[in-house]
Structure formats: structure tokens, C-alpha cells
């Protein structure tokens, strides 16, 4: 009888010890997974490269000369305290960061791995960031920020294209926020195009001449058709884009 009891006790001890070991292993595994995937990966894969890119873009911005065409449209917005959403092509977001610096700006950024880089970059240049979400919360957050006085910035053909096709979400947000849409296009004298990317993204070089084109604001009324207004915004942006090289104010090369 004593032998049987001893065996039962030992089995229970082995079970308890075994469960404890398994539990410790599971906890350790979760800890390492969290540390390496959530923290270390974030630092190595996102934070460090983004910090380096920030320095480069800051150097491009400080060493370049920027001219604004359509500055009267900006002054009108400031004078009348209009709620606005600046609409631009996805290919221009790097140019936007190095050329146009505005107070109280909010940018809509896609919730993805690449979007993490973009969000970090925009944050470094003092943009408030709203990340997209399937639930639609991001739209409410963006609308709220615009109503509070922030100027909205949306890449109207992002995040995956097709390029130069305005998506109707921008019109919907403008209607909800009771904001006007301002077409925005940017041209630089020197740089290179990432031709393998869907948006033909443009990367400006330092010691540059950059021209920012501000179009006339487009009013969005509650009764307006999203499709018709989207076509109007798209048409205005294309006209601004196609005409920008003719109107680009590039002084004689200084470098």
C-alpha cells in the first residue's frame, strides 16, 4: 500500500513539475517572440532606416530652394479660415515632405508595413498621422481633425493605385468634414524616378530647385455626386501635373 501511494505521489509531482516546465517554456517563448518580433524587429527594420531617411530628407529640404506657384490660393485659405484637404499624387509624398511645411497638418497613411515607414517620416516633419482602418474609424478621426482646424493631406491615388486615378474616399471625407479640396502638385529639377514602383515615385536630390503648384480649391457640397466630383478633382490634378513643367519656376542652375 505504501509503495502504491509513493508511486502516485511521484507521478503527481512529475506532472506538476512537467506542467511548470512547459509553462515556463511557453512564457519564455512568448517573451522572445514579443521582444524580437515586436520590439527588436521594429527598431532594426523600421526605426533605424527611417531615422537615416529623415536625416537625408532634412538635408535635401535645407539645401534646396522652394518656389510656390499659386500662393494666393494658400493666402485665401488662411484668410477665410477654410477647412481644406490637399489632394496630391502618391508619387509626390517625398517631394511634399521636403518642400511644403505647414502647421497643424494631418496626413492619412495606410496601415501596412510600408505605411509604417511613411507614418514615421510624416511624423518627423510634424504631421499628425491617421492610419487607415477597415472599421472606418480612421475616417471619423480624420474628419474630426479637419474640423478642429488641421489641414488634411491625402494621396488620392494611394495606397496601391492605379496611378493618377482619384479614389472617391477623398471626396467622401471632404463632404463629411465640410472641407474644400485643394489640388497640389510638385516638381523638382533634380532627382530620380523609381520606375519599378506602381506610382513611379520621385526621389529628389540635395541642392535642388523645387516648385510647388497650388490649384484653386474645389467646393464639395452634400448634394454633389461623389463620382462627378471625383472626376473634377482628377481632372484638376492632371491639368496641374501636366502643366507644371511648363510653369515650373526653375532659376538658372546654381550648382
Cα R_g (the chain), whole angstroms: 26
45-82 pLDDT, tens digit per residue, is 455 577 888 889 999 999 999 999 998 988 888 888 89
Residue 240's SS3 state is helix
How far is the CA of 198 from the CAs of 49, 190, 247, in angstroms?
22, 21, 26
pLDDT value of position 3? 53
179: helix, strand or coil = coil
Residues of the chain with pLDDT under 50: 4-10, 13-14, 17, 31-32, 34-45, 245, 247, 250, 254-255
Residue extents of the structural domains in the chain: 64-247
Q: In whole angstroms, what is the distance from residue 162 CA to residue 237 CA?
A: 15
pLDDT at 149: 94
pLDDT at 64: 96
Per-residue model confidence (pLDDT) at position 255: 44
CB neighbour class for 72 (10 Å; exposed up to 12, middle 13-18, buried from 19):
exposed
Report if pTM > 0.85.
no
Q: For the purposes of burial, counting CB atoms within 10 Å of the CB of 106, is it exposed (0-12), middle (13-18) or buried (19 or more)?
A: buried
Amino acid at each position: 500500500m505504501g509503495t502504491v501511494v509513493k508511486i502516485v505521489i511521484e507521478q503527481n509531482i512529475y506532472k506538476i513539475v512537467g506542467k511548470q516546465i512547459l509553462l515556463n517554456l511557453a512564457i519564455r517563448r512568448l517573451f522572445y517572440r514579443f521582444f524580437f518580433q515586436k520590439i527588436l524587429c521594429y527598431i532594426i527594420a523600421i526605426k533605424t532606416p527611417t531615422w537615416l531617411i529623415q536625416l537625408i530628407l532634412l538635408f535635401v529640404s535645407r539645401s534646396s530652394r522652394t518656389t510656390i506657384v499659386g500662393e494666393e490660393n494658400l493666402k485665401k485659405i488662411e484668410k477665410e479660415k477654410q477647412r481644406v484637404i490637399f489632394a496630391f499624387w502618391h508619387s509626390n509624398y517625398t517631394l511634399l515632405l521636403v518642400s511644403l511645411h505647414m502647421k497643424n497638418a494631418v496626413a492619412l497613411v495606410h496601415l501596412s508595413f510600408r505605411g509604417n515607414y511613411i507614418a514615421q517620416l510624416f511624423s518627423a516633419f510634424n504631421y499628425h498621422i491617421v492610419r487607415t482602418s477597415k472599421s472606418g474609424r480612421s475616417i471619423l478621426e480624420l474628419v474630426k481633425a479637419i474640423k478642429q482646424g488641421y489641414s488634411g493631406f491625402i494621396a488620392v491615388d494611394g495606397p496601391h493605385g492605379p496611378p493618377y486615378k482619384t479614389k472617391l474616399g477623398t471626396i467622401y471625407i471632404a463632404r463629411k468634414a465640410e472641407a474644400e479640396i485643394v489640388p497640389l502638385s510638385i516638381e523638382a529639377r533634380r532627382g530620380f524616378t523609381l520606375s519599378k514602383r506602381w506610382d513611379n515615385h520621385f526621389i529628389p536630390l540635395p541642392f535642388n530647385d523645387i516648385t510647388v503648384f497650388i490649384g484653386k480649391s474645389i467646393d464639395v457640397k452634400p448634394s454633389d455626386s461623389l463620382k462627378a466630383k471625383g472626376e473634377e478633382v482628377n481632372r484638376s490634378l492632371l491639368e496641374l501635373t501636366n502643366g507644371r513643367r511648363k510653369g515650373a519656376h526653375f532659376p538658372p542652375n546654381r550648382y
